[in-house]
Amino acid sequence: MSAPLLELDHVDVVHKIRGRGLFGHDCVHALTDATLTVRPGETIGVVGESGCGKTTLAKVVVGLRKPTGGTVRHHGKPVWDKGSDRREFGRDIGMVFQDPTTALNRRMSIERIVRDPLDVHQSGTPSQRAGRVRELMDLVGLPSSVADAVPGQLSGGQRQRVAIARALALEPALLVADEPTSALDVSVRAQILNLLLDLRERLGLAMIFVSHDIQTVRKMSDRIVTMYLGRIVEDAPAGAIPAEARHPYTRALFSATPSLLNPIDPIVLTGPVPSAVNPPSGCAFRTRCPKATDACATEVPPASAAGDGHLFHCIHPEPEVSVR
């Protein structure tokens, strides 16, 4: 197995709430005790309901959010230690955001936007940078005729291609795509997904793919990470999901949109997602879990192994089911 490209080791992100906290609480637990390893060339899909911490995890991975606890390592070296080279880390990881309209500077030309990371990192001579911009535009399927346009003159799909070109400018080893198609017209979503898949193959990229569309995540990923209320509750090979999912929440998520190829008995969740300001004690999922017992309230379930590369956090795991 290849050495990890990136590791999150028991990472926390806690946001302080300004002013008076809700019900006496003064912080939001956006990410809690997140442990994740990304290896070169692998695609990790991240799933979970709105507010479960997917974007926070993505921002920690690309270095946009400094953890309040735990360690992030890039090629084995802690990223946030004093004296560490965060420039090298920054070059190696690119990010594509959900909404290309807000992610791109609307006053800059497309050529300038794609060139910007090369300028910031002073990569090559000006003529080499201009050549690289042409190469990148070609790579993502943008005609050279849009080089002088501004984002407002492009379609949503073209704008997302610009964002992808910019994210790839410094030849990253890992691309983080946070809901890269959800702000786009349904008609262009498949094109952008196919472009990402094609680039992944051609460039040998590792990818973290965050999406609400869990069936797409399942098709695209080597591994699936399920998050609930700021915690990673299961990390499994994509082929094991949903049939061999051991966490009831992973089962529930995937059974909510059954696939003909992989039908499983539905688990229906009741009640609202608790607040990340005041998460439940013990297992955060217990207030909505059909299998919860008193024991679930006492401590956070430790990681249990269900097979090679398959971890879950639950003391009443689902049995494995055979696919019908």
Interacting residue ranges for ligand ATP, rule: CB under 6 A: 15, 28, 30, 48, 50-56, 276
3-state secondary structure of 204: coil
Q: Residue 37 or residue 55: which is nearer to ligand ATP going by CB?
A: 55
CA 227 and chain centroid, separation:
10
Is-contact 196 190, C-beta < 8 A? no
Beta carbon of residue 141, minimum distance to ligand ATP (angstroms, whole number): 27
Q: What is the token pair recorded at 319? A: 């049995």
Q: How far is the CB of 221 from ligand ATP (least distance, A)?
A: 17
**Measured from the CB atom, is 41 or 63 closer to ligand ATP?**
63
Q: Which residue has the tokens 């297992």?
A: 283
- Which is nearer to ligand ATP, 49 or 116 (by Cβ)? 49
Nearer to ligand ATP, 84 or 275 (CB): 275
CA 232 – CA 213 distance, rounded (Å)? 18
CB of 99 or CB of 116, closer to ligand ATP: 99
What's the token pair of residue 104?
A: 């791109």
303 C-beta neighbours (distance < 10 Å), count: 13
Q: Of 29 and 251, which CB lies nearer to ligand ATP in the complex structure?
A: 29
In whole angstroms, how close is the CB of 50 to ligand ATP at the nearest point? 3
C-alpha distances (whole Å) from 257 to each of 42, 189, 264, 268 are 25, 19, 10, 11
Q: In the bound complex, what is the minimum distance in angstroms from residue 279's beta carbon to ligand ATP?
A: 10
Q: What one-character-per-residue DSSP string does 96-148 give?
A: E-S-HHHHS-TTS-HHHHHHHHHHHTT-S-HHHHHHHHHHHHHHTT--GGGTT
CA distance 109 to 67: 34
Smallest gap, in angstroms, from Cβ of residue 253 to ligand ATP? Answer: 13
11 φ, ψ to 5°? Answer: -85, 135
CB of 276 to ligand ATP, least distance (A): 4
Residue 181 C-beta: closest distance to ligand ATP, Å: 14
**The tokens 């984002």 sit on which residue?**
151
Q: Which residues of 95-119 are buried (b: 16+ CB within 10 A; e: fewer)?
A: bbbbbbbebbeeeebbbebbbebbe
Beta strands 69-74 and 174-178 are unpaired
Q: Write out the two tokens for 182.
A: 């959800």
**Cβ at position 54, least distance to ligand ATP in Å:** 4
CB of 175 to ligand ATP, least distance (A): 17
Nearer to ligand ATP by Cβ, of 27 and 139: the residue is: 27
Token pair 């795509």: residue: 177
Number of neighbours of residue 256 by Cβ within 10 angstroms: 12
* Identity of the residue, 53 or 117, whose beta carbon is nearer to ligand ATP in the bound complex: 53
Helix (H), strand (E) at residue 162: helix 156-168
* Closer residue to ligand ATP, CB minimum distance, 117 or 230: 230
